[in-house]
Chains A and B, each alone.
Chain A
């Protein structure tokens, strides 16, 4: 069957769509929680700055949600368009969480609409805060359900395959597969962490660019605190994920760690390059891989030698692992220094160079998200359903995938540039100083509705 081209372009198009979508999806999962926290802090402290913070985040959030929704629709349909054989098989077992995801999304969409259009409608801000709970819950739960689908692809279960026929299907068992707990937890906490650092980057950037308003200082401090908490959580869940891999998907861990020979007391390899099958310039931490995999420095870790070559993922995923982990650790460090420095009033946390590090933290976290997903997805190759269906058996047979790839690439370019331009314009044309002044004037005028 001459569909190798179709398989290749289907993979590229899926990767492109997902890589673009997860930027907006991550923001979509994390930011509602941040808005909720800011609004809650504002009500609790009776501090208008935090309320305004929630309001301004919400306005920007709507733009990212729009792009997230339309690209999410795209990937939803592309699953069936590009991988019809996969969906035909997997649909029998995993349709339930996919279906539930749309419910969560529906729920979020309804309440987001209400939340945005009722800013001044309730006298009591607490009632308005209540509307945010379904938004944040819906956002997080759609991440939970869709990650369950992905976890199933890594650890399929809940059915028996008898002569190519699916029997004894159990949707619930399929949902609660072994990959699910670590994956869901990791996706959620990294989304919160990334959103917090992205919002912190905005605050730090405004402070760098001349504004010295307390509003930005409060915003920065709040988001760095949240970012620190979630980056610690990320590291802990990441450790559990390593243990999951050692137990259930040892070939992925072995490829990510360049662990070629099964051995006890295995060292962890950081960085380095692979040339002609030899690892060079790497940093070796003795026993660390055994600790990561089994919490025991002398435990045996399965290496790539135990698997036929046709079943192992490409070895470049090691670099992705390095990028992800390094950024994670770096962000824990930066946020910890910032928090301690602020409490102890170290001067350098106010210095320009340090604020630039905080600005950099936002985009870096996004890079870590991308690297992590690539590691996860490429680490599952050559399977689309690990151990059951190979990727090349799943793809469409259509000859037009390449054209579609170019069309979608154009679309994402437009959406990417468009959303960034619109976001910049929105906030540049209405800086916080002016909005605060407007709000004060509005209050003077007995709070009459000001029509735009």
Chain B
């Protein structure tokens, strides 16, 4: 296998990891805010805080890992994406910064106010929207190459139905992923009030999520016919993904096996993500940048892969320990102990 493929696979895995953990995080913030406004905070806040507290920092690392990795494996992306994304990426950083700092301030510092909780929930929706612009511009047609360098055409971006569809998709899937995970988590916590509410949210967001996802494929037909063609060639992967989606909804609807429902959901998104990635091949930014002409030299690529394997040797056991101590620790999850510093 080419080192290029290894590189993009590594990055794909981390991007996917970020999409899942960040969705849970963003969605949780939104549900928490929404429940504050509707007076149901007592049902959700505790279970959400108990999950988020030990892992919020780890969520952030997935993102850092992805963008450091992509510049490492594909240095030219720094030129194309870096030059064109200054404004949307800066906005995303600022929102992430406010969000992360606010989380620590309230959880550990005891700064509490309804107004902040609502703001926090809203940033959780704006961040996926601003980050999803990266996906949009990778489709081509939004960045012009001028003498001075790549320039993002905001007018085309803001008037394109494709970019808005991707924004809506990111929002609905964030809420859907988060609700399904939290349903399972609150069941483990035996917090039946939260289970009831979150199951309702999960079912409510399932349809919008799947409809917008299908909508993107239709948009692609006019925006980038070449990409659309390759998407259609992979129809069986999307069909399989749809099947998993039906499975998740079925389990939620019948109130059985929430854990399995979440696993199916991850499978559904993984398949769709993989199919999308394969159809995008070999472009990083259509049509200027492919993974081949932007790849780093062989010596660096080999070094990065070795560092990656060694790093995983450290990370996987540590992540396992983290999950065992918190996510899969009955006493902790059910709130019977508080070993908080």
Contacts and interface: CB of A to CB of B under 8 A. Distances in A.
Interface of A: 1, 3, 55, 58-59, 62-63, 65-67, 69-74, 76-85, 87-93, 95-96, 98-103, 105-107, 109-121, 134, 166, 169-172, 396-398, 400-401, 403-404, 407-408, 411, 414-415, 418-419, 422-423, 425-426, 429, 449-452
B213 to A, nearest CB: 28
A404 B321 contact: no
Interface string B91-102: 101101110111
Contact of B311 (A59, A103, A429): A103
B337 interface: yes
Interface in B2-36: none
B222 interface: no
A398 B109 contact: no
B181 to A, nearest CB: 18
Nearest to A13: B90
A177 to B, nearest CB: 15
A174 B90 CA distance: 30
A172 B303 contact: yes
Contacts of A1: 148
Secondary structure at chain B's binding surface: helix, strand, loop or mixed? Answer: helix
A114 B54 contact: yes
B68 A102 contact: yes
B55 interface: yes
B185 to A, nearest CB: 16
Contacts of A87: 71, 75, 78-79, 82
Contacts of B315: 103, 106-107, 110
Contacts of B69: 99, 102
Nearest to B66: A102
Interface in B277-312: 296-297, 299-300, 303-304, 307-308, 311
B289 to A, nearest CB: 11
B86 A170 contact: no
Contact of A450 (B78, B304, B338): B338
Residue among A77, A92, A397, A407 with the most chain B CB within 10 A? A77
Given A58-B341, A114-B322, A117-B326, A80 B82 contact: yes
Secondary structure at chain A's binding surface: helix, strand, loop or mixed? Answer: helix
Interface in B85-144: 85-87, 89-91, 93-94, 96-98, 100-105, 108-111
A208 to B, nearest CB: 24
B234 interface: no
Interface string B50-75: 00011101101101110111011101
Interface of B: 53-55, 57-58, 60-61, 63-65, 67-69, 71-73, 75-83, 85-87, 89-91, 93-94, 96-98, 100-105, 108-111, 148-149, 151, 296-297, 299-300, 303-304, 307-308, 311, 314-315, 318-319, 321-322, 325-326, 332, 335-341
Contact of A121 (B81, B93, B103, B337): B337
Nearest to B84: A398
B148 A109 contact: no
A98 B341 contact: no
A99 B297 contact: no
30 contacts: A62-B104, A66-B105, A67-B104, A69-B60, A73-B60, A73-B64, A73-B100, A79-B71, A80-B78, A80-B82, A84-B82, A88-B76, A91-B75, A95-B71, A95-B300, A98-B71, A98-B72, A99-B304, A102-B68, A107-B315, A109-B60, A116-B340, A117-B53, A118-B339, A166-B297, A169-B300, A172-B303, A397-B148, A407-B91, A418-B105
Contacts of B71: 79-80, 87, 91, 95, 98
Nearest to A404: B90
A451 B72 CA distance: 46
A31 to B, nearest CB: 13
